[in-house]
Amino acid sequence: MRILITGGAGFIGSHLAERLFLCGHDIIIVDNFNDFYSPAVKRRNFTETAGNAAACGRRLLLCEGDIRDEEFIRAIFTQELPDAVIHLAAAAGVRPSIDNPLLYEEVNVRGTMNLLEAAKAIGVRLFLFASSSSVYGNNPKVPFAEADPVDNPISPYAATKKAGELICHTYHHLYDINIACLRFFTVYGPRQRPDLAISKFVRLIEQGKPIPFYGDGSTSRDYTYIGDIVAGIEKALQWVNTGEKRYDIFNLGGSSPVALNRLVKIIEHQLGKKAVLECLPMQAGDVERTFANIEKSSSVLGYKPVTPIEEGIANFVRWYQDSEQPLP
């Protein structure tokens, strides 16, 4: 298949492209290399991805531009005729969305609609949408299941991701596009965005600088290793690629939450260094915990995360220390 990946030069997208090359697919990457974090990081990701494409003998095309640009998106679909779309691109981050909510609406809602309109126009029937565990908000029930109410988001980012799921269902209903919405739970691993906790903590501890430590350390996240996420996306692509009309929502998580206190200790152990904590109050928009119920994903998709947090962080630390160009 010819698969279009938005945000394909990012952390998840670059790993996914490499996995799909091995499965025999050609890839079209759409990315605008914005400055939410250093564009050099994403360009390094793309360079590595291009090398892996060449090694696999697969075609890789980079289309540099913004998913908010309707004409740009329409032209790519018309010229390249993708068979499937995996939509990862987004304005990311809970806290920044509170400061700039209109940007998040433009990218995450209008950008998603531009892609669905283009898919409708040329008859693309396979579409995966990257949603987020943030849609669950401070749900008191754990673990979070796909059938739980998600009507009380606590950040604009979460609200736009829920909106994306609803828009996807509308296009599925009206135009018979097979869609899976994938709620990712705190993805980490080699190439992780430098603004995210594990990447930031490793970098600052290595440099002997204080790490921001919000709250009392009891908040927890369901950290999910990049290899497990990519395997889940691949399973979801197989699920939508049938003759049946399909739409559904799936959790992709590790289903094993880790408290902030424990996370820091694991990183300290892997680095052989003690962290200096900059104790700060909880921030607006932060949830107390995330915890994925993956029974549905396991039974329907065959999704099965296999990487424990200790192994995943060891892999990240090894990648970070071996990198010729340390993260900014």
Cβ(1)–Cβ(84) under 8 Å? yes
Tell me which residue of 8, 111, 61, 166 sits closest to 119, measured CA to CA: 111
SS3 196: coil
Q: How far is CA 129 from the centre of its chain?
A: 10
Q: What pLDDT shows up at residue 41?
A: 92
AA identity, residue 54: A
Radius of gyration of the chain (CA): 19
Question: How many C-beta neighbours within 10 Å does residue 54 have?
Answer: 12
> Whole-model pTM above 0.75?
yes
DSSP H or E segment with residue 111: helix 111-122
Closest CA to 264 of 326, 233, 219, 299: 219
Stretches where the chain sits below pLDDT 50 are none
Reported as a single tens digit per residue, the pLDDT across 188-201 is 999 999 989 999 99
CB 176 within 8 A of CB 240: no
- Is 2-186+224-253+291-305 assigned to CATH 1.20.140.10? no
Please give the pLDDT value at position 64. Answer: 97
User: Residue 320 catalytic?
Assistant: no
Which one of the listed residues 37, 104, 136, 157 is annotated catalytic? 157
> What spatial distance separates the first Cα and last Cα of the chain, rounded to whole Å?
36
The rounded distance, in Å, linking the Cα atoms of 16 and 13 is 5
